[in-house]
Structure 1
Amino acid sequence: MTGYVTVDGALAFVEDHRVPDDPTAPAVLCLHTAGQSGVQWRHVTPGLVAAGYRVVVPDLPGHGRSEPAPDGPVDDLGAYAAWLLALADATGLDRFAVAGCSIGGKIALDLAVRASDRLTAVVAMAADAWTGGRPSTRGLRRELVDVAAPSRSDRTELGTLAVLGRATEPERARLIAAMHRREDPVVSNSDLIGWASHDLREQLPRITCPLHLVVGADDLWLDVDRVRWASSRIPGARCTVLDGVGHYPMEEMPGFAALLDGWLRELTAGTEAA
């Protein structure tokens, strides 16, 4: 079922992995990080399907194999959340779980605010409700002028290595960083503007779906206390700090599919009959 669907007037590339002979399999929508694509979930998807999930992995507008957003690069994570709800309608997702990382984690929180009634569970990784305006949106907008410089690719690779956890095997770390070099710098900078300006602090108590915030202890992008605070503001939410892990748990941790499966099962236990 992998291919293109039309969302908001542009073609979006979506991996849609179905469980053979089980049209009622629970669905999980997996969201990538800034500037990246659904390829980040390539090692996780097979395990989730084997565990009995329908796994839907989109490339956000302007990322991976999706066409650009009609109005240009997106710098508002709320716009991505609205786009994903339209994509869910286009792919027949009525009730579903969401797992996202970095901007994907923040978008997952935004979806929980907008559409808790549609979500069976949310796992928001490497995300909080408000970063305190870090990094500087002014600096990011200024950098858009020269992001095509060759050094940008090197900065992306070295920056990725810097935010990986100490438990990440060196060979895996080099592969993650090499994959991250592929991103479009204009798109990724716009994503980071969205990251720095996205503020859900006042809206967190509105979330009613089961939710789990996850942060790596070695994540230089996040303040663990801010993540814990966000968890405390969401009724019934859980928070896990992963020792030795950085900003990309699903890429850094071997066997991550089993861990995510466990979190999703814990979140949905006792709610499926509701």
Structure 2
Amino acid sequence: MRADYVEVGGTRAFVLEEGEGQPVLCLHTAGQNGVQWREVQPRLAELGYRVVVPDLPGHGRSEPAAGGPVRDLGVYAQWCEELMDRLGMDRPFVVGCSIGGAITLQLAVRRGARLAGAVAMAAHGGTDSAMLSVRGLERELVDSAAPSRSDRTYFGTLAVVGRRVAAERAELIARMHRREDPEISTSDLIGWATHDVLATLDGVACPTHLVVGDDDLWLDPADVRRAADLIPDSRYTLLEGIGHYPMEEVEGFADVLHGWLGELGARESRGAA
């Protein structure tokens, strides 16, 4: 495993890399960081991938974004494009969850012809104003309005972990998540609630796989299915008993993802032929 700081978007980003072969960019969820991929990364590397796991600006060990906390997921997508170019990632797969999934869809729209494929988990490409109140989120940026944010992150995470996940595992996920910076995570969620690429999904030029857990209280699987139907050459998977964090909840997720990436690669090869 290699750890380094890379100059991206006018600031220094912390990036973990492991393995050689087909590059895979793995994107974390709102307020979190690359530690969410800690169990997936080494196994993917064993399976023959060059796995790249960044902390987005202001997250984990990356420096803050040059303009402060980001409320537009398109800014993160542009940042990821620069990162991929800086690291020489030729025709990578992109895999992300929650805001990472939304960023993945934006990357598929923006540069799908340069991607080997995209796996967007817990994302559907449209706004979520019905699920998240932007006004309420902005109130949470005032410290006095959200004195128990870390506890609410903990209990909120437990609420969206799927029923198939063992209690000890769910507890670990929730305790890991509560370490986030509330200003960063709330800004991320404002970006989540307001981003919208639905009208452009029909222009995605790479094989795409949309994934959602049927215990994900943050999403309606029907919205994810409709988004998949808009994308040419796409696939949809509903995970039974899984919630909002498949890469942390699904046992042996790296091998599951390897299967999905293999299918994307096969579809890309057929398309190129």
TM-score tier after normalising by the smaller chain length = over 0.9
Q: Does residue 115 of structure 1 match 2:111? A: yes
Per the alignment, do residues 148 and 137 of structure 1 end up closer, same or farther by CA in structure 2, a change over 3 Å counting?
closer
Give me the identity figure in percent. 62
1:37 deviates by: 0.2
Partner of 2:32: 36
Aligned residues of 1:131 and 1:222 also touching (Cα < 8 A): no
Aligned length, in residue pairs: 269
The amino acid across from 1:244 in the alignment is: G
Higher share of residues assigned helix: 2
Query: Normalising to structure 1: TM-score of the pair?
Result: 0.96
The amino acid across from 1:120 in the alignment is: A
Partner of 1:63: 59
Partner of 2:73: 77
The CA distance in 2 between the partners of 1:241 and 1:93, in whole Å, is 30
Among 186, 199, 218, the residue aligned to 1:189: 186
Written as runs of structure 1 = structure 2, the 5 A alignment for 1:1-274 is 1-19=2-20, 25-133=21-129, 134-146=131-143, 149-272=146-269, 274=272
The CA distance in 2 between the partners of 1:103 and 1:122, in whole Å, is 14
CA deviation profile, 1:16-39 (whole Å, cap 9, x unmatched):
1123xxxxx101000000000000
Aligned residues of 1:147 and 1:186 also touching (Cα < 8 A): no
The CA distance in 1 between the partners of 2:217 and 2:88, in whole Å, is 37
The CA distance in 2 between the partners of 1:248 and 1:224, in whole Å, is 14
The CA distance in 2 between the partners of 1:83 and 1:215, in whole Å, is 25
Per the alignment, do residues 110 and 181 of structure 1 end up closer, same or farther by CA in structure 2, a change over 3 Å counting?
same
1:236 deviates by: 1.3
Range 148-157 or range 250-259, more displaced: 148-157
Superposed structure 1 runs of 4+ greater than 4 Å apart: 147-150
The CA distance in 1 between the partners of 2:114 and 2:44, in whole Å, is 20
1:93 deviates by: 1.0
The amino acid across from 2:227 in the alignment is: A
Range 262-271 or range 81-90, more displaced: 262-271
Aligned residues of 1:103 and 1:195 also touching (Cα < 8 A): yes
The amino acid across from 1:262 in the alignment is: G
The CA distance in 2 between the partners of 1:80 and 1:41, in whole Å, is 18
SS in 2 for 1:261: helix
Q: Show structure 2 runs of 5+ residues with no match.
A: none
Per the alignment, do residues 206 and 270 of structure 1 end up closer, same or farther by CA in structure 2, a change over 3 Å counting?
closer
CA root-mean-square deviation: 1.3
Aligned residues of 2:119 and 2:211 also touching (Cα < 8 A): yes
The amino acid across from 1:60 in the alignment is: L
Aligned residues of 2:117 and 2:268 also touching (Cα < 8 A): no
The CA distance in 1 between the partners of 2:144 and 2:260, in whole Å, is 38
1:176 deviates by: 0.3
Aligned residues of 2:207 and 2:267 also touching (Cα < 8 A): no
SS in 1 for 2:233: coil
